[in-house]
Amino acid sequence: MKFYIVTLCVIFSIVGCKKKDAPPVVVDRTIEIRYFDSLNRDLLDQSKSYSYKFSDMQHLYLDRNNSKKIVYVGNLNYPKEMFISKDVDSIPAILTFFPHIETFEYGLRDFTDYIQLSSTDEDTIQTQIEITNSTSVIKSVKYNGQNVGRYIIITK
C-alpha cells in the first residue's frame, strides 16, 4: 500500500511540476541621440558651459486628446524616460530616449514625443511601435519629420 501511495505522489509531482514556458518579454524601444554644434562640439557634455543641461530638458508626449503632457514617472530609474551617458571623455555623450507609451494596446501604434532641449529648442520624435502581450518593439522613427534609424546624430 505504501508503495502505491509513494508511486502516486511521485507521478503527481512529475506531472504537476511541468509548467509551460512563458513567452520571453522583449522591450526594444530605445533611441540613442548625439547632439553636436556646427563646430562639432558635444552638446550633451554636462561639464561644458555651451551644452544642453539635462536638468533643463523635458520629455513630453502627445496624449489621446492631442495635448502635450510632461513625462515624469516617479517610480522609474529614469523618471523622464531618458538619460545621458558618457563613458569616456573622448567619446561623445548619448541621450538615451524611450518613447512614452500611455496605454499598452496591442498592434502597430503611432506615438509622438517631444524633447525640449532648452526653453527655445524642441524636437519632435514620431515612432511606430509594435506591441504584443510580451513585446514592444520600435518599427520606425521620424526625427523632426525625417525618417531616421534608432541611432541618430543631430547637428544644431
Q: What's residue 100's pLDDT? A: 93
Quickly tell me which residue has 514617472 as its cell: 73
Q: Which residues contact 114 (CB under 8 A, 6 or more apart)?
A: 58, 59, 60, 61, 62, 68, 122, 123, 124, 125
Inside any domain, residue 68: yes
Inside any domain, residue 20: no
* Angstrom distance (rounded) from CA 24 to CA 28: 12
Q: What's residue 25's pLDDT? A: 67
Inside any domain, residue 138: yes
Inside any domain, residue 5: no
Q: What's residue 17's pLDDT? A: 55
pLDDT in tens, the chain (156 residues): 555 454 545 555 555 555 556 666 667 889 999 999 999 999 999 999 999 999 999 999 999 899 999 999 888 888 999 999 987 777 899 999 999 988 778 999 999 999 999 999 999 999 999 998 888 999 999 999 999 999 999 999
- For residues 42 and 93, the answer to whether their CB atoms sit within 8 Å is yes
Inside any domain, residue 148: yes
Inside any domain, residue 4: no
Inside any domain, residue 2: no
Inside any domain, residue 70: yes
**Phi then psi dihedrals of residue 98, to 5 deg:** -115, 115
Q: What's residue 43's pLDDT? A: 97
Q: Domain range holding 68?
A: 31-155
**pLDDT tens digits, 104-116:** 789 999 999 999 9
Based on the structure, what is the number of domains in the chain? 1
